[in-house]
Amino acid sequence: MTKIYECKKCGVITQAPDQICKPQRLENMGVYCGEPGKTDQMCTDMKEHVAFVCESCGRPAEQANMVCTPRKTG
């Protein structure tokens, strides 16, 4: 099973806890997707890695399979 982490500071979801400021391990997508993310202050190191955002809740993610309705950014 893949480990999923959320940054407590900005809400970015990733599988790489070393890329976010304040990693917090999450159990699964049901815990975070659908809930509004804290995207106002994204971690500096993560800005270049965030390629997707969830269309239903706006949560940023590094990979499409980490949110329920992914949309490519940029």
CA distances from 71 to 22, 39, 59 (A): 25, 15, 10
Beta bridge partners of 26: 4
pLDDT digits (tens, 9 = 90+) for 3-57: 888 888 878 888 888 888 889 998 887 777 776 655 556 666 666 778 888 888 8
* Tokens describing residue 14: 């990733």
Question: How many domains are there within the chain?
Answer: 1
Q: What is the DSSP letter of 38?
A: -
pTM confidence score = 0.66
- φ and ψ at 16, to 5 degrees? -115, 90
Q: Tell me which residue range forms the domain holding 53.
A: 4-72
Q: What is the DSSP letter of 36?
A: P
